Amino acid sequence: MPRLEEVPERFSFPKGEEEILEYWKQNDTFHESVRLSEGRPPFSFYDGPPFATGLPHYGHILAGTIKDVVCRYAHQTGHHVPRRFGWDCHGLPVEFEIDKKLDVKGRQDVLDMGIATYNDECRAIVGRYTKEWEVTVGRVGRWIDFSTGYRTMDLSYMETVWWVFQQLHEKGYVYRGFKVMPYSCALNTPLSNFEVQQNYKDVSDPAVVVTFPLLGEEGASFLAWTTTPWTLPSNLALCVNPELEYVRIREEATGAVYILLATRLVQLYSELANPKKAADARKKFSEVERMKGSALAGVEYAPPFGYFEARRASGAFRVITGGFVTDDSGTGIVHCAPAFGEEDYKACLEHGVIRRGEPLVCPVDADGRFSDEVPEWRGLGVKEADKHIIAHLKAQGRIIKVDVINHSYPFCWRSDTPLIYRAVPGTFVAVEAIKEKLIANNKQTYWVPGHVREKRFQNWLENARDWAVSRNRFWGTPIPMWVSDDGEEIVVVGSKEELERLSGVAVSDLHREFLDHIELPSQQGKGTLKRVDEVFDCWFESGSMPYAQQHYPFENKQTFEASFPADFIAEGIDQTRGWFYTLMVLSTALFDKPAFKNLICNGLVLAADGQKMSKRKKNYPDPVLVIDSYGADALRLYLINSPVVHAEDLCFREAGVMQNLKYHAYRLLVASVRTAEAREGASFEPSVGEALGSANLMDKWILAAANGLVRFMRAEGGGPLSLASAVCGWCRGVARAGGAR
């Protein structure tokens, strides 16, 4: 031990870490440790791929620290632990950056410049931040292999994604269809339900009560309430609940007759909600009759606009029934525009207002603007058109009430623009068909904390919907589905070699610009088959990671099968509806197994004020500067010794990192040892044996805490996963007791 005067007053922990990192680099310590462990029992770990379009933040450092701790422990307990980094290269995050760079306003802009040119731009920025990632991940002391990292844009990876999709198709889990989906007008593509959950905002929207005059009964109208006036030009039906009671009333002042749900008169006369004013409100109208909703079925009416009057001959513009109509809001009569509402679509299909295979009434283009079918507002964005439509209908006497509703509404997680719901043709995976298997496989996994698996994830699986895996975009793995013009003949290709054999065309890359021109000969005399104009949802690609990173089944078949499911994965709680979910869906569909055995789910790292960290707002300190100031160990300890490891949120405070620097404790130890040496007249020699037999109360407490940690881990099963849970609980216990960490 050094003399006290040899211990500097100030010591640079970051500099000390950098010296260790240099030693690891010079001796290739990480790769050497992996090499020396070959032949030991394997411990398989999957690293979820981050998008390569930004720099690592505290959430990445937190998850990376958890992964590093568990994987190092697995190695130290006699396992062989390959650790491989990966990159999510496709999808909206990359395209969004290119759209900003090239000022792309819509799909046609890309088609005009050429998909090859656009994709070259996407390809060029994928590796923009890879070096910074490697530096930061290495600086925090995490051991993981970048040299063998997988990329979702590599041909080998994309080929396995094709194989996964072909397997799902052969098992009957793939279908083509129309479905009303959350749709981003800014990005020209539908989004998955779990993507929609990532960005809800409280907004104000217009809420209007519109009249729908009955044909053949002058002065009488149905009343429907809507918060999306822009859908009114596409109205094809009105829907009532067949079991609820409706009322026909006459307004005393105007003589107008209105039909609405009896319990929703308050929507027309808000005073009815106030006991003191209700009597006066009832003087404004008189009841003519009451009837069940079923009695209204088939009654014809005049729509707000006449654009699609020709549809009346095929069953449009009449009242239909549906159990989804409720009495908790509106007028109890739902205006149905089947292209823009999921329940509308189902009800209109069931009652023959629309038919499968026939074109839908959808006068809105891919950019969310009205088409030529609505000439008054052609080229106007639908949300912008709300006020114009309201003003037009008010002038026509078709709106009798306008309110504003404050509600939670979904926004695009990339463009931060409001989503709309619209029917889009697409490719779907029948998740609902395997729902019970998903729930059963979830029970085979072990999560820290357990309540996330048992509640949040379990609830998500129980309400799982069919997955729209197609995107009408450009930079991604193309869906390998070739279809005849009539849609009846479908060929799904599962490899590059199979495509070359079927088409007779040599293929060097699997991106769109290399495939879109390739046609396959029909085996049913239908001419040629053309590929569907879609790429995969990038979540489908990341969910295929266990297989695609190994280029399974084309290579590494035994290696993959010996290490699947993974022993361990870890990511943030937001991945319960993202990567964790897609891993479970694909592994269940392919092998009826979970993709992982053990999982640690951390919470979110927020800014000090509790808001989401934002580069634009600059509401958090730069991780690189924090590491340079206090060292990576202080940051790692601050993160790992906080509730965020147990799926709670952490408001990041730089002072919390600084408090982990207990250098004065080291100086105190040196001073205490030198004082004892002077008193005893002998040099201090630490002895484990003496410590174990010590009567000192502090020694006993330290040993008891350490043994408690060991017992806890063994009680958990002794596996590597128990380390993170045990360490976090133990550290907090030590901190509460006032001991040094």
Q: Which residues contact 395 (CB under 8 A, 6 or more apart)?
A: none
What's the CA dihedral at 354, 355, 359, 365 to 10 degrees?
50
Which percentage of the chain shows pLDDT scores above 70? 92
Distance separating alpha carbons of residues 128 and 616, to the nearest angstrom = 20
Domain boundaries, the chain: 12-167+540-652, 204-407, 663-737
Q: Which residues contact 315 (CB under 8 A, 6 or more apart)?
A: 351, 352, 353
Mean pLDDT over residues 76-87, rounded?
A: 92
Element (H, E) at 222: strand 220-226
Residue 398 has pLDDT above 80, yes or no: yes
pLDDT at 712: 75
Identify the active-site residue in 612, 617, 662, 700: 612
Q: How does the average pLDDT of the chain come out, rounded?
A: 88
pLDDT at 664: 57
Identify the active-site residue in 47, 49, 99, 303: 49
pLDDT at 732: 43
Q: Are 311 and 206 in contact (CB under 8 A)?
A: no
Q: Are 247 and 260 in contact (CB under 8 A)?
A: yes
Give residue 122's Cα distance to chain centre.
22
pLDDT at 249: 95
pLDDT at 738: 37
- Residue 612: active-site member: yes
pLDDT at 416: 84
Distance separating alpha carbons of residues 405 and 685, to the nearest angstrom = 75
Identify the active-site residue in 47, 579, 594, 597: 579
Distance separating alpha carbons of residues 306 and 317, to the nearest angstrom = 11
Identify the active-site residue in 88, 99, 365, 633: 88
Extended strands (E) in 48-156:
84-87, 145-151
Distance separating alpha carbons of residues 483 and 701, to the nearest angstrom = 72
Nearest of 211, 231, 206, 234 to residue 331 by alpha carbon? 211
Residue 281 has pLDDT above 80, yes or no: yes
In terms of C-beta density within 10 A (0-12 exposed, 13-18 middle, 19 or more buried), how is residue 689 classed? exposed
Identify the active-site residue in 154, 363, 575, 720: 575
pLDDT by residue (tens digit) across 678-733? 777 777 666 666 667 777 888 888 888 888 877 776 666 555 555 545 544 444 44
Q: Is 212 helix (H, G, I), strand (E, B) or coil?
A: strand
Mean pLDDT over residues 36-50, rounded?
A: 92
Q: Is 478 helix (H, G, I), strand (E, B) or coil?
A: strand
Cα-flanking dihedrals φ and ψ of residue 612, to 5°? -65, 140
pLDDT by residue (tens digit) across 556-608? 999 999 999 999 999 999 899 889 999 999 999 999 999 999 999 999 998 88
Q: Is 429 helix (H, G, I), strand (E, B) or coil?
A: strand
More confident residue, 548 or 342: 548
- Residue 363: active-site member: no
Mean pLDDT over residues 481-502, rounded?
A: 94
More confident residue, 189 or 98: 98
- Residue 49: active-site member: yes
Distance separating alpha carbons of residues 393 and 211, to the nearest angstrom = 10
For the 12-167+540-652 domain, the top CATH level (class) is alpha beta
- Residue 304: active-site member: no
pTM of the predicted protein model: 0.78
Identify the active-site residue in 225, 447, 539, 730: 539
Nearest of 535, 438, 468 to residue 161 by alpha carbon? 535
- Give the total residue count for the chain: 741
More confident residue, 614 or 501: 501
pLDDT by residue (tens digit) across 199-252? 888 899 999 999 999 998 999 999 999 999 999 999 999 999 999 999 999 999
Confidence of residue 369 (pLDDT cuts 50, 70, 90): very high
pLDDT at 670: 74
**Residue indicated by tokens 């104000």:** 204
Nearest of 673, 698, 702, 695 to residue 685 by alpha carbon? 673
Q: Is 384 helix (H, G, I), strand (E, B) or coil?
A: helix
| Cα maximum dimension of the chain | 114
- Residue 579: active-site member: yes
Return the bridge partners of 200, or none.
410
Task: Write out 85-109 in H/E/C secondary structure.
Answer: EEEECCCHHHHHHHHHHHCCCCHHH
Mean pLDDT over residues 602-628, rounded?
A: 85
pLDDT at 159: 98
Helices (H) and strands (E) in the chain, counts: 28, 26
Element (H, E) at 239: strand 237-240
Residue 1 has pLDDT above 60, yes or no: no
Nearest of 535, 488, 440, 447 to residue 153 by alpha carbon? 535
pLDDT at 665: 62
* 365 token code pair: 């283009």
CATH superfamily of the domain spanning 204-407 = Valyl/Leucyl/Isoleucyl-tRNA synthetase, editing domain (3.90.740.10)
- Residue 230: active-site member: no
Q: Is 650 helix (H, G, I), strand (E, B) or coil?
A: strand
Lowest mean pLDDT among 273-277, 537-541, 563-567: 273-277
pLDDT at 654: 87
CA distances from 518 to 165, 504, 630, 653 (A): 19, 9, 57, 55
Lowest mean pLDDT among 40-44, 89-93, 153-157: 89-93
Distance separating alpha carbons of residues 566 and 598, to the nearest angstrom = 8
Confidence of residue 735 (pLDDT cuts 50, 70, 90): very low
Q: Are 646 and 31 in contact (CB under 8 A)?
A: no
Lowest mean pLDDT among 46-55, 75-84, 108-117, 292-301: 46-55
Q: Are 324 and 293 in contact (CB under 8 A)?
A: no
Extract long-range pairs of 54-57: CB within 8 Å, 24+ residues apart.
Answer: 54/93, 54/129, 55/129, 55/132, 55/133, 55/136, 56/132, 56/133, 56/136, 56/137, 56/623, 57/605, 57/613, 57/623
Distance separating alpha carbons of residues 583 and 700, to the nearest angstrom = 46
Which percentage of the chain shows pLDDT scores above 90? 60
Distance separating alpha carbons of residues 257 and 214, to the nearest angstrom = 10
Q: Are 595 and 544 in contact (CB under 8 A)?
A: no
Extended strands (E) in 586-658:
598-602, 605-606, 650-651
pLDDT by residue (tens digit) across 107-147? 888 999 999 999 999 999 887 888 889 999 999 999 999 99
The separation between the first and the last C-alpha atoms of the chain, rounded to the nearest angstrom, is 21
More confident residue, 181 or 338: 338
Cα-flanking dihedrals φ and ψ of residue 729, to 5°? -65, -40
Q: Could you give the residue ranges of the DSSP H alpha helices within 351-434?
A: 382-395
